[in-house]
């Protein structure tokens, strides 16, 4: 199962990277006479309302979707990790301050916050990423803090402290590797969330702007002709569901794979 | 070397009577003690008497509520629970290297780590091939030897043993105690040896300190164990004698 999911994800990533080679047509080339074409040999998934090849647009759409999600995740995890490590390890005043900020952050309805930030800073994909990182880091900070607390009283860390080793060594050589497996699981599970979010915002015309191909944006274009050409929605809709599900399954599999190894020695 | 003056430690109670209660439980009460250079002091007490807490105060892992703590650095420690003493992701080599790194920084020198590790492993009676193993690939006795090597690698003045041999079988205990005696002679170290086992104290220490419910009830030289006056210490001594 995990291998299959990893295969799907890797396949999608590779297709995205080599889009110019894999895609049968130019994703921007319109052919208005050939709009809403059905499945055929030259247009495997048909064409859209401007006669553009849907398959090509799907393949090119991988780039913004996946790249932006990865960027969002990296930003979120990095910020959350630093905050969580600091709060969990140093405790006391630092912990108090960070965790109160986290509490406040987590009390905002997250989707509405994203809209608010995007509305405030203007419709631009950079702002979308910023907004996503901004609402999500607190959640990570809390998870990582909890994990750090689990390890900070382990004897090997007490030993490091006792002999006066540097904080940097303790944080980056002991603590970070100890929580890395949990972090990997979290990140994989959450990749699905990031993809959905980017697509949702593009669907609402707040993210990636047309004519750039993006799955959520394509879904939005297809929505306009939902009654006359419902088939248009299948490709982007299914693709999002499958990719998000693949990340979720992979995350679960990772957790199962990593947990027993931890338990073995505790 | 070590001096504690009127040290008191308390923790917040786990089961409070009120929901947001702030009841505290006194763990160490007015503890004063001292350890001389090159001495081996035993701290004897039943489980829950506050021995480990006292150990944590001595190595600076815990700030006491009141009282003064003077300890000469560097100090090193060997724990009872060897399963969590070493990072499970580290090899033996990395485990010992950590102490070497700290020592390098302290003395501003560069060490030939490979050579040092080889020498240390030999000292604790392990062959060189162990250096690439992970903690779960070692037996309890072997891992505890690695922890001792790590403690010695720091070249400390003092080593604190918190029930370091209590989880080992009787035969290994004697072996390790002999090893510790030898190391102490070789490097002129000061030991603090925490235990609940009187026989290991008599085998190993110069002086013993009886801890009962967070208070030091008696201190005496090993040679004068027969002269203890305190009721609790007497009871402890008698119970061991009766067992034999
Ligand atoms: N971090 C802590 N928080 C609250 N209570 C603690 C903590 N550490 C130890 N205690 C309590 O202190 C008492 C003495 O513990 P300890 O020093 O470990 O005893 P010993 O090592 O002699 O068995 C125990 O009753 C224990 O419950
Ligand atoms: Mg103890």
Query: What average pLDDT does chain B have?
Result: 89
Task: Assess whether B169 and B152 both reside in one domain.
Answer: no
How many other CB atoms are found less than 10 A from the CB of residue A172? Answer: 12
Q: Given B81, B87, B135, which is nearest A174 (Cβ)?
A: B87
Cα angle for residues B99, B105, B106 (degrees, 5° grid)? 85
What does the pLDDT average to over A130-150?
90
d(CA A147, CA A85): 9
Contacts of B102 in chain A (CB under 8 A): 163-165
Measure A96 CA to nearest chain B CA, in Å.
18
Structure confidence at residue A263 (pLDDT): 45
Q: How many CB pairs under 8 A join A and B?
A: 58
Number of domains in chain B: 2
A101 token code pair: 């900020």
Q: Indicate if B167 and B238 belong to the same structural domain.
A: yes
Residue-wise DSSP of B168-222: S-HHHHHHHHHHHHHHHHHHT-EEEEEES-HHHHHHH-SEEEEEETTEEEEEEEG
Please check the confidence at residue B244 and state whether its pLDDT lies above 60: no
Q: What pLDDT was estimated at residue A201?
A: 84
- What are the φ and ψ backbone dihedral angles of A54, each rounded to 5 degrees? -65, -40
Chain A environment of B62 (Cβ under 8 Å): none
Q: What share of chain B is helix, strand, coil (3-state, %, to 5)?
A: 45, 25, 30
Q: Whose CA is nearest to atom 9 of ligand 1?
A: B53
Q: What is the pLDDT of residues B104-134, one digit of tens each?
A: 999 999 999 999 999 999 999 999 999 999 9
Give dist(CA A49, CA A228) in Å, integer: 11
* pLDDT reported for residue A231: 78
CA torsion sign, A160 to A166 to A167 to A171? negative
Boundary (domain end) residue, out of B156, B174, B209: B156
Q: Measured between alpha carbons, how far is A189 from A256 in angstroms, rounded to an integer?
A: 13
Question: From the CA of B48, which ligand is nearest?
Answer: 1
What percent of chain B has pLDDT above 90? Answer: 65
| CATH placement of domain A2-16+49-259 | 1.10.3720.10
Q: Give the pLDDT band of residue B20 (cuts 50, 70, 90).
A: confident
Residue A41: how many CB atoms within 10 A of its CB?
Answer: 6
CA atoms within 13 A on the CB side of A98: 25
Residues B19 and B124 placed together within one structural domain of the fold: no
Which helix or strand (DSSP H or E) is residue B33 part of?
Answer: strand B24-35
Dump pLDDT digits (tens) for B49-98: 999 999 999 999 999 999 999 999 899 999 988 889 999 989 999 999 99
HSE-CB for B73 with a 13 A CA cutoff: 12
Closest CA to B74 of A163, A87, A199, A36: A163
If DSSP codes are grouped into helix, strand and coil, which group holds residue B111?
coil
Helices B113-123 and B140-153: angle between axes, nearest 10 degrees: 130
Query: Residue B173 C-alpha to ligand 1 middle, in angstroms?
Result: 25
Domain range annotation of chain A: 2-16+49-259
Residue A149 has pLDDT above 70, yes or no: yes
| Shared domain check, B168 and B68 | yes
Q: Which residue numbers of A have CB closer than 8 Å to B's CBs?
A: 154-156, 158-166, 169, 174, 177-178, 264-266
- pLDDT tens string A64-113: 888 888 899 999 999 999 999 999 998 889 999 999 999 998 888 878 88
Q: What are the Cα distances from residue B35, in Å, to B4, B40, B59?
A: 9, 8, 13
**Probe site for chain B from A155, A176, A178 (most B CB atoms < 10 A):** A155
SS (H, E, C) A144-208: HHHHHHHHHCCHHHHHHHHCCCCHHHHHHHHHHHHHHHHHHHHHHHHHHHHHHHHHHHHHCCCCC
Confidence of residue A266 (pLDDT cuts 50, 70, 90): very low
Specify the range with the lowest mean pLDDT, choosing from A74-78, B30-34, B130-134, B221-225. Answer: B221-225
Write down the ipTM of this complex.
Answer: 0.92
For residue A233, is it left (φ>0), alpha (ψ between -120 and 50) or beta? alpha
Round to whole Å and give the CA distance between A60 and A22: 9
Mean pLDDT along residues A240-254? 87
CB neighbour list of residue A254: distance below 8 Å, 6 or more residues apart: A2, A181, A184, A185, A188
Q: Identify which has the larger pLDDT, A182 or A41.
A: A182
Same domain, residue pair B181 and B226: yes
* Residue owning the nearest CA to atom 6 of ligand 1: B11
User: What pLDDT sits at residue B106?
Assistant: 92
> The CATH number of the domain where B32 resides is what?
3.40.50.300
Give the residue numbers spanning the domain of B186: 1-73+157-243
Which candidate from B83, B102, B136 shows the least CB-CB separation from A163? B102
**Pair B142, B163 in one domain:** no
* Contact residues on chain A for B89, CB-CB shorter than 8 A: 177-178
Are A155 and B59 a contacting pair at CB < 8 A?
Answer: no
- The alpha carbon of residue B6 is apart from the nearest alpha carbon of chain A, in Å, by 22
In chain A, % of residues over pLDDT 70: 97
Chain B residues with CB under 8 Å of A164 CB are: 73-74, 102, 106
- CB contact under 8 Å between A165 and B156, yes or no, is no
Q: What pLDDT, on a 0 to 100 scale, did the predictor assign at position B240?
A: 63
Nearest to A162 among B61, B89, B90 (CB): B61
How much is the average pLDDT of A227-252?
A: 85
Among A124, A175, A127, A112, residue whose Cα is nearest residue A148: A175
| B141, B156, B171 - which closes a domain | B156
To 10 degrees, what angle do helices A2-17 and A234-264 make? 130
Torsions phi, psi of B77, nearest 5? -140, 145
**What is residue B188's predicted lDDT score, i.e. its pLDDT?**
92
Q: What six digits make up the tokens of B169?
A: 């079988």
Tell me the shortest Cα–Cα distance from A177 to chain B, in angstroms. Answer: 8
In angstroms, the separation between the Cα of residue A206 and the nearest Cα of chain B is 45
SS3 assignment, position A30: coil
Structure tokens belonging to residue B174: 């004697």
Please tell me the pTM assigned to this model.
0.82
Cα(B25)–Cα(B84) distance, rounded to whole angstroms? 27
Residues B228 and B162 in one domain: yes
> Considering CB atoms only, which of A156, A163, A165 is closest to B84?
A156
- How confident is the model at residue B242, as a pLDDT? 54
């Amino acid at each position: 199962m995990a291998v299959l999911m990893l295969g799907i994800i890797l396949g999608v990533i590779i297709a995205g990277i080599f889009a110019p080679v894999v895609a049968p047509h130019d994703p921007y080339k319109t052919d208005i006479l050939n709009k809403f074409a059905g499945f055929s040999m030259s247009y495997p998934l048909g064409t859209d309302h401007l006669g553009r090849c849907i398959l090509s647009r799907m393949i090119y759409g991988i780039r913004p979707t996946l790249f932006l999600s990865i960027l969002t995740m990296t930003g979120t995890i990095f910020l959350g990790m630093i905050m969580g490590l600091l709060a969990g390890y140093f405790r006391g005043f630092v912990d108090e301050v960070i965790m109160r900020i986290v509490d406040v952050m987590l009390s905002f309805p997250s989707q509405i916050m994203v809209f608010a930030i995007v509305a405030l800073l203007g419709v631009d994909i950079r702002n979308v990423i910023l907004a996503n990182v901004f609402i999500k880091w607190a959640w990570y900070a809390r998870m990582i803090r909890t994990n750090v607390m689990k390890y900070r009283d382990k004897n090997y860390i007490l030993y490091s402290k006792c002999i006066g080793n540097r904080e940097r060594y303790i944080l980056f050589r002991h603590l970070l590797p100890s929580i890395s497996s949990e972090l990997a699981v979290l990140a994989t599970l959450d990749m699905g969330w990031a993809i959905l979010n980017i697509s949702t915002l593009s669907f609402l015309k707040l993210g990636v702007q047309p004519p750039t191909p993006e799955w959520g944006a394509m879904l939005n274009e297809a929505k306009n002709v939902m009654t006359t050409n419902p088939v248009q929605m299948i490709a982007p809709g299914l693709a999002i569901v499958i990719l998000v599900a693949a990340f979720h399954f992979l995350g679960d599999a990772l957790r199962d794979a990593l947990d027993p190894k931890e338990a073995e020695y505790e | 070397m070590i001096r504690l003056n009127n040290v008191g430690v308390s923790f917040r109670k786990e089961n409070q009577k009120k929901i947001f209660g702030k009841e505290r439980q006194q763990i160490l009460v007015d503890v004063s003690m001292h350890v001389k250079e090159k001495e081996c002091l035993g701290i004897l007490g039943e489980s829950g008497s506050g021995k480990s807490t006292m150990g944590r105060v001595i190595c600076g892992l815990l700030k006491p509520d009141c009282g003064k703590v003077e300890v000469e650095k560097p100090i090193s420690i060997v724990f009872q629970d060897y399963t969590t003493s070493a990072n499970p992701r580290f090899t033996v080599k990395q485990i010992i290297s950590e102490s070497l790194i700290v020592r390098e920084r302290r003395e501003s020198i560069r060490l030939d780590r490979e050579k040092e590790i080889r020498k240390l492993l030999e000292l604790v009676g392990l062959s060189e091939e162990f250096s690439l193993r992970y903690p779960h690939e070692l037996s309890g006795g072997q891992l505890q030897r690695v922890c001792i090597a790590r403690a010695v690698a720091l070249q400390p003045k003092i080593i604190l043993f918190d029930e370091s041999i209590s989880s080992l079988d009787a035969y290994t205990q004697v072996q390790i105690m002999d090893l510790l005696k030898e190391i102490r002679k070789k490097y002129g170290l000061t030991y603090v040896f925490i235990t609940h086992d009187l026989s290991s104290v008599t085998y190993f220490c110069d002086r013993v300190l009886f801890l009962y419910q967070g208070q030091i009830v008696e201190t005496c030289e090993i040679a004068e164990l027969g002269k203890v006056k305190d009721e609790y210490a007497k009871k402890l001594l008698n119970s061991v004698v009766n067992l034999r």
